[in-house]
């Protein structure tokens, strides 16, 4: 039986809409997930409430992949101290077997003007 070496990692990023921008679209985090990893769990902790002029949805995903780590969630749920749970990745683990993917925050329907959160995910990285 071939042996596969694994390492456990936590990856995270902090996004501040007042500093980093909050225009509609995909906002790149600069944080990449490695090739051959399985994401086990992820969530966001809101540091300061998200603010927008109209109803807005926020989600977290991986560039180039059709999987949401946090599905579109109304910005009014991203209140101070709130924990926004990610999708159940134990049931549907995300396998980055082809390329490394960048964590992305997506804003839909209106711009965000303020708010700050940290997103983190726990993953297992395999050597093959």
Predicted confidence pLDDT, tens digits, the chain (128 residues): 666 778 899 999 999 999 999 999 999 999 998 887 888 888 999 999 999 999 999 999 988 877 788 989 999 999 999 999 887 665 455 555 556 789 999 999 999 999 999 999 988 887 76
Rounded CA-CA distance 12/26 in Å is 17
The CATH number of residue 47's host domain is 2.60.120
Is the distance from CB of 30 to CB of 13 less than 8 angstroms?
Answer: yes
Mean of pLDDT over the chain: 86
Helices (H), the chain: 17-20
Confidence (pLDDT) at 66: 72
Residue 35 counted as domain residue: yes
Q: Is residue 10 part of a domain?
A: no
Residue 94 lies inside a defined structural domain of this protein:
yes
Residue 34, domain member (yes or no)? yes
Looking at residue 93, its pLDDT comes to: 54
Q: How far apart are CA 22 and CA 9, in angstroms?
A: 28
CA distances from 52 to 40, 115, 118, 121 (A): 31, 9, 18, 26
Residue 68 pLDDT = 83
Report residue 50 CA to chain centroid gap.
16
pTM for the predicted model, two decimal places: 0.86
Please give the residue range of the domain that contains residue 103.
15-126
pLDDT at 28: 93
- Which of the 8 DSSP states describes residue 34? P
């Amino acid at each position: 039986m071939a042996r596969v070496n694994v390492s456990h990692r936590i990856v995270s990023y902090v996004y501040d809409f007042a500093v980093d921008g909050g225009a509609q679209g995909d906002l790149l985090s600069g944080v990449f997930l490695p090739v051959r990893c399985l994401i086990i769990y992820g969530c966001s902790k809101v540091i300061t409430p998200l603010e927008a002029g109209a109803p807005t949805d926020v989600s977290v995903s991986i560039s180039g992949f059709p999987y949401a780590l946090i599905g579109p969630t109304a910005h009014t749920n991203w209140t101070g101290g709130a924990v926004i749970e990610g999708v159940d990745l134990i049931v549907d683990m995300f396998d980055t077997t082809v390329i490394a993917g960048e964590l992305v925050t997506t804003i839909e329907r209106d711009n965000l003007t303020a708010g700050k959160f940290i997103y983190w995910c726990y993953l297992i990285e395999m050597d093959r």
